[in-house]
Amino acid sequence: MNEIKFTYIIAIVLMMFFVAFIILIVVLYNRRQLFFIQQQQLKESEYQNQLLQKELEKQKSIEKERERISHDMHDDLGAGISALKLHAEFLKQKAEDEDLKTDINELLKTSEEMSISMREMLWSLNSGNDTVGSFVEYAKLYAQNFLKKTKIQLIVEDESTIFETTITTEQRRNLFLCLKEALNNAYKHSQSDQLKLSFIQKDKEFLMKISDNGVGFSQGKADGNGLRNMKQRMQEQNGHCDVTTENGTHLFFRIDLQSN
């Protein structure tokens, strides 16, 4: 009887040792797996940091190249256009033939247009202008200069825009091209005498609204007025372009400043 009890106790002890051994193996395995997972996460984190560092270096390189191109354009093209205008003015003073004067005036007009286009490109290339404030101020200035020789009165509204908010170069460029297209359409087709340019920022959503009090246009002529191009530009920036034609033409350009 005692031998049976002893054997039973031995079996229980061995079973307990076996269970403890299994538990120890499981614990060690789990710790090893946890260590392995942590090492993998650490390697992944280091890899992501390397990718981020490479992307930052790439962006710095792009910005440096943009600044170099901007300086070269300003120094070389700017000086060339100025010299061309100066020479044309000199020839105009000496010219006696009216046809020749007309040709020279066309040359001066073309050189002025080239100068304006160059300034726009320089503004677009300058990464220091990648803020909402820079865009709003430049857009106002452009609209004022564009409409000052027309019968269209410009009204500007700027509601709660945070000037230091970052806007990407592509967003800024495409918004500006949409503004140019809309102003050109208003001048050519709207028959309006008043245009309102509004800038509204709500959290990270930025809205540019262009409204005139003209005749509007039918939906069938929308593509002819460049609406397709403007919508495509906004879609490329994960934004929206909407239009209404009640009591004039009203264009709405919306972008998410966090989208890029």
176 shares its domain with 83: no
Among the ranges 76-80, 96-100, 245-249, 256-260, which has the highest mean pLDDT value? 245-249
4 shares its domain with 108: yes
Q: What is the pLDDT of residue 230?
A: 92
Q: Which of 104, 128, 152 is the last residue of a domain?
A: 128
Q: What is the pLDDT of residue 73?
A: 59
Q: Which residue has the tokens 């044309």?
A: 88
Among the ranges 116-125, 218-227, 237-246, which has the highest mean pLDDT value? 237-246
Q: Looking at residues 125-145, what average pLDDT do you find?
A: 90
CATH number of the CATH domain containing 227: 3.30.565.10
pTM for the complete prediction?
0.66
Q: Which of 100, 128, 156 is the last residue of a domain?
A: 128
Q: What is the pLDDT of residue 260?
A: 46
Q: Looking at residues 192-206, what average pLDDT do you find?
A: 93
Q: Looking at residues 31-58, what average pLDDT do you find?
A: 79
Q: Identify which has the larger pLDDT, 66 or 168.
A: 168
Q: What is the pLDDT of residue 181?
A: 92
109 shares its domain with 192: no
Number of domains the chain contains: 2
CA distance 141 to 163: 16
Average per-residue pLDDT in the chain?
82
Contact 251, 233 (CB under 8 A): no
Altogether, the residues listed in the chain come to a count of 260
Q: What is the pLDDT of residue 180?
A: 92
Q: Looking at residues 49-74, what average pLDDT do you find?
A: 69
Q: Which of 128, 143, 158 is the last residue of a domain?
A: 128
Give the range among 137-141, 158-162, 248-252 with minimum mean pLDDT: 158-162
| pLDDT over 70, % of the chain | 84
